[in-house]
Structure 1
Amino acid sequence: MAHKDQYKPFTVPPTSPNETYVTISALEGGMLTLPESLFVADADPKRKSTVPSLSFLIQHPSTNGGSSTKLVFDLGLKRDLTKYPPAQQAHISQRQPIETRPDVADSLRSGGIDPAHDVDYVILSHVHWDHVGTPSDFPNSKFIVGSGTIDLLKHGASPYYPAETFDPVMLPHLRTLELPPTGETLPGAPSPSPKKTTHTWAAFPHNASLFPRTIDFFSDSSLYIIDAPGHLYGHINLLARIAPGKWVYLGGDCCHDIRILRGEKDIAMYDDGCGGLRSVHVDVGLARDTINRVGRLLDAAERIEVVVAHDKTWSESNRGRFLPGTL
């Protein structure tokens, strides 16, 4: 198992003239209730917490004076739970109480953004039910997902992700592209789609060992897609530059409790029903490695802020940074 100390702390790239910065606003994406014992080792088996499924609006400035490019990262929960496949609804029934409004579309509209016309891209960190929201709210957006995601939606992945828990037509076929394969294949991983973006993976400048696989999405160092394997096939994070020397890392489900990221707690392991142990991550070794890498960002907290998708404390402490506010 990799250890946090094997990685060097995050080095903030030096500032330079004419840098491009994005703005980030948190979005409401619904609430769900999680039993702590499924996520945190040695937790009280009776303890539950109702947590957010955070989403984010990222706006990239135009280079020619036009409107900004708008990107939404994750879509939270569907506002209509009956739209999930029946097999998934059985799982959802164990996550009550659940709040589905406001959802991401509501949040955008309340901030003056029309999801049907104003959002250029939707990037999903992964396709677990509490992150996929209602894609039909974005009829003109391009969808971008991690490698293997399209095959996962169609065929599932044994033994923990049967096909019947996914909706194979959830994403718009003609407007959905996968990121290229990373070159690191998990056992049993779904097959990459031939419908790939034109991006290529490369190491993050000044931090090649910490983040060896990143994509400079706008080709101006303002927004990076980060390969963050372990939680689910195709799981990705975002790293955004928001001001000179200031960055935000959106960690999706790299972990479900910030104490794990700080090294205070470990990932919970539980009975897999087949005589072994499993966790909420498809590959716990890779998940720990991703957590250790992201954990090094905490050493530069004055320069980089880390936000994971289900951080209730962050959500409650940062209400002014939800749209129309910014991070």
Structure 2
Amino acid sequence: MSSLDDHETITLPAPAPNQNYVSISALDAGHLTLPEKLFVTDADPDKRATVPSLSFLIQHPSQHPKTTPTNLVFDLGLKRDVSGYRAAQQDHIAQRQPTTASPDAAASLRAGGLEPTDINTVILSHVHWDHVGTPADFPNAEFVVGSGTQHLLAHGGGPLYPADIFNPDELPSDRTRELPPVRASDAAHASACQTRHAWTPLAGFPAVVDFYGDGSVYVVDAPGHLVGHVNVLARTAPGKWVYLGGDCCHDARILSGEKGIALYGDGRGGLRSVHADTEVAAGTVARIARLMKQGRVREEGGREVRVEVVVAHDGVWREGNRGRFWPGRL
């Protein structure tokens, strides 16, 4: 993580004259239990913590008076019905007990007065079992995933990510759009991509997509954890941004530098982490951590701004921000 300049000023785009801002609300979407030793360095070998798998409602203002906002959900958490997981997935889930899936993302939306049928778009940070939720609950939504995701669902991703830990029919084929390849080495999948978006660099991130085309919501390529892993950077008010980090890390102390990414045996005589590529994941973490440096993030024109970073499994954040869950707002 030291290869990046921690003292560099990060520049975000200045607001447009009629800038759109989005509202973001956290959603309870289930809990799972994680052994700390697999996720952070210098861990208590016996400590296990039950943590959330957070989902987020992002509401984009309508361009037309008297119409409703566009509703986007980022990540869906756990399935409420474990039978919706394949056998190998259920074997893994058995190691993450206790788990809870009530309320799930759909129930959390309803509790705040919004129906899952009102959701226009679902963006998945990635397709691990604790983020895919129950896609069938969202029959009117377009699903958006990172490059290579559909190939991963169908074929797996090597010996540590075999096909049987993914469900090839997880997403609705007629309503799923995969973002384009970011790197030239991914070009083999380009023919399968149907997209209206293009990647550009922003704020120290090599590749982001201006999702609505108005500078309000950016999808960030966040490689390292799993093929197709993406994050969201959103503008919520003048001088205020929110970064939704998915599984860039599983403990906020890694972002603050208090802890590092844990390594453990891969069963083949080597070491691995919870990330598909630990070095690349560490680079992603370093880029995100720079957004948290007070006084070092500014918009074009020099105005200092604040970026709040939230990762999917941050139980401390959840307990301290209960009033910001839907219908509350970040």
Retained in 1: the 8 A contact 2:72–2:119?
A: yes
1:110 corresponds in structure 2 to: 111
1:183 corresponds in structure 2 to: 183
Residues 213-271 of structure 1, C-alpha deviations (whole Å, 9 max, x = no match): 00000000000000100000000000000001110000000000111111111100000
Counterpart among 290, 294, 307 of residue 288 in structure 2:
294
| In 2: Cα distance, 1:268 partner to 1:185 partner | 28
Structure 1, unaligned runs of 5 or more? none
Retained in 2: the 8 A contact 1:230–1:286?
A: yes
1:244 corresponds in structure 2 to: 238
Is 1:282 the counterpart of 2:280 in the alignment? no
Q: Which amino acid aligns with 1:22?
A: V
Residues 15-51 of structure 1, C-alpha deviations (whole Å, 9 max, x = no match): 4421110000000010000000000012111011000
TM superposition shift of 1:300: 3.5
TM superposition shift of 1:169: 0.5
1:323 corresponds in structure 2 to: 326
| In 2: Cα distance, 1:175 partner to 1:145 partner | 11
Normalized against structure 1, the TM-score is what? 0.94
Counterpart among 245, 256, 259 of residue 253 in structure 2:
259
Retained in 2: the 8 A contact 1:151–1:193?
A: no
SS of match in other structure, 1:213 = strand
| In 2: Cα distance, 1:7 partner to 1:152 partner | 37
Residues 276-316 of structure 1, C-alpha deviations (whole Å, 9 max, x = no match): 00000000110000000000011148611000000001100
| In 2: Cα distance, 1:80 partner to 1:155 partner | 24
Retained in 1: the 8 A contact 2:181–2:189?
A: no
> What fraction of aligned residue pairs are identical, expressed as a percent?
60
1:196-235 maps to which residues of 2 (within 5 A)? 196-204=194-202, 207=203, 210-235=204-229
SS of match in other structure, 1:62 = coil
TM superposition shift of 1:96: 0.5
Counterpart among 252, 268, 275 of residue 262 in structure 2:
268
Retained in 2: the 8 A contact 1:12–1:303?
A: no
Structure 2, unaligned runs of 5 or more? 296-304
Q: 1:325 to 1:165 in 2, by over 3 A?
A: same
TM superposition shift of 1:184: 5.6
Q: State the aligned residue count.
A: 320
1:81-120 maps to which residues of 2 (within 5 A)? 81-115=82-116, 117-120=117-120
2:69 corresponds in structure 1 to: 68
TM superposition shift of 1:203: 1.4
Runs of 4+ in 1 over 2 A off after TM superposition: 1-17, 189-193
Normalized against structure 2, the TM-score is what? 0.93
Retained in 2: the 8 A contact 1:124–1:132?
A: yes
Retained in 2: the 8 A contact 1:153–1:168?
A: yes
